[in-house]
Chains A and B, each alone.
Chain A
Amino acid sequence: MREMINMVVVLTVLSAFSGGLLAAVRTGTKDRIEQQVLKFQKAPAIKQILSDVSNDPLQDRFKIMDKEQELTFFVGKHDGKPDSVTFETTGKGFGGDIGVMVGVNIESDQIIGICVTTHSETPGIGSRAKDDPKFAGQFAGMTMDKNFATKKDGGDIDAISGATVTSKGVSVAAIQAQDIYKRLKPEIQKQAALIK
């Protein structure tokens, strides 16, 4: 009995210490990790979507609290007018979450483009969602009242053959972006107008 209590106590204390240490390291590195992810994963997607803007969208960003979640919006300017935003949403893919950056023109409510940021899909199959511009290109130019679901689910998007789950994940992320945009539009326009 004594031995058993000893085992339980030692392992519990060890786990508690380990948990504490990890929490501390996590807190210490959190901001930097966020910055690195921004620099190496989101920046290329943002640059691809907002390729012809006159400002640096990474600098001109704002945050809006949506329910429990904090969303970061990156603003792009054309001719000095802040008329487009991009933000990231996620959908469930075959190998885990797929991050999708969605760019919207806030004057015409049109999608400028979408771009996959992070994914763990099968290389050569699901990864085509990121690498093959044909699939992501379908979203460009669609207005916010369109159905972003795949054709199989009654929408307008052609899925990638052989990668149904991945395609669905991306389209779910796009639909989520649509929801968020519709809900937060006044707030997004207000905040974007404040960007100088």
Chain B
Amino acid sequence: MAQSVVKEFTKGLWAEIPPFRLVLGLCPILAVTKSVENAVGMGLASAFVFVFSNLLVSMLRNIIPSKVRIAGYIIIIATFVTVVELVMQAYTYPLFLKLGIFIPLIVVNCIALGRAEAFACKNPPLASVADGLGMGIGYTLSLCVVGALRESLGNGTLMGHAVFGPDFQPFRFMLEAPGAFVCLGLVLCIMNLIGKK
């Protein structure tokens, strides 16, 4: 039992790390990873939603009739997303302003719905929470990697601190949307290279 819980947790960190392995939930990784700070905020907000929506979906898996399960999941996910939104607004307002519309958009994040449908509705609460936590942390890490690449190359900073010295010419392209695609593609490519060995 304990072993399988650990397995559910760790699979989200590499074997099925979102969004690279699942290739779901690409919209936020393209849109909000202009800086590491944004990436961490977005990742943690998503992780919170994954964990609690997985927990509730799993607890209610025998109660919600299968015909309306998607509607039920959406209610659960939307509730937690709104909780996150309100809490961020109250405690990390500048970050909330930067992430803007992408916080409410976690509702339609395929990962949240995907984990509810693919995992939480068939597994007990503990394993579901482990799954949600693993996915959430994995997602945060992925966002941070892309965020760090884009921020350091595009702006010459990391978490707001200069990293390359004063002579560095920022590679602005990385902060634009095409830069996000290129960056995502490169990371995915490197991951596939490592995975093949």
Are A and B co-members of a single complex?
yes
Residues of A whose CB lies within 8 Å of any CB of B are 3, 6-7, 10-11, 14-15, 18, 21-22, 25-26, 29, 32-33, 36-37, 39-40
Binds A, one of B34-42, B61-69, B107-115: B61-69
Q: How far is the CA of A22 from the CA of B97 in the complex (A)?
A: 21
B65–A32 CB distance below 8 A: no
B93 touches A36 (CB 8 A): yes
Q: Is B72 an interface residue (CB 8 A)?
A: yes
Residue B87 at the chain A interface, CB threshold 8 Å: yes
Contacts of A15 in B (CB 8 A): 75
Could you tell me the distance between the alpha carbons of A6 and B63 in the complex, rounded to whole angstroms? Answer: 9
Of B12-20, B78-86, B177-185, the segment with at least 4 beta carbons within 8 Å of chain A is B78-86
Rounded to whole angstroms, the CA-CA distance of A15 and B60 in the bound complex is 13
Q: Known pairs A25-B83, A32-B91. 4 more at Cβ < 8 A?
A: A14-B72, A22-B82, A29-B87, A32-B90
A151 to B78, CA, bound (A): 45
How many B residues touch A, CB cutoff 8 Å? Answer: 22
The listed residue (B71, B82, B89) touching A36 by CB distance below 8 A is: B89
What residues on B are CB-neighbors of A3 within 8 Å?
65, 67
Most buried by A among B60, B65, B82: B65
9 A-B contact pairs sorted by A residue (CB < 8 Å): A7-B68, A10-B65, A10-B68, A21-B79, A22-B86, A29-B86, A33-B86, A33-B89, A40-B94
Asked if B76 is at the interface (CB within 8 A of a chain A CB), the reply is yes
B88, chain A: closest CB distance, angstroms = 10
Given A6-B65, A7-B68, A29-B93 contact (CB < 8 Å): no
Q: Do A21 and B83 touch across chains, with their CB atoms under 8 A apart?
A: yes
Q: Which residue of A lies closest to B93 (CB)?
A: A36
Q: Which residue of B lies closest to A29 (CB)?
A: B90
Q: Which residues of A are found within 8 Å of B82, using beta-carbon distances?
A: 22, 25
Check if A26 sits within 8 Å of B86, measured CB to CB. yes
Q: How far is the CB of B65 from chain A (nearest CB, A)?
A: 5
Cβ–Cβ < 8 Å partners of A33 in chain B: 86, 89-90, 93
Q: Choose from B76, B89, B90 the contact partner of A14 (Cβ within 8 Å).
A: B76
Are the CB atoms of A7 and B65 closer together than 8 Å?
yes
Kindly list chain A residues whose C-beta atoms are within 8 Å of the C-beta of B72: 10-11, 14
Q: Is there contact, CB below 8 Å, between B93 and A37?
A: yes
* Bound: A115/B156 CA distance, A: 33
Residues of B within 8 A of A29 (CB): 86-87, 89-90
Residues of A near B79 (CB, < 8 A) are: 18, 21-22
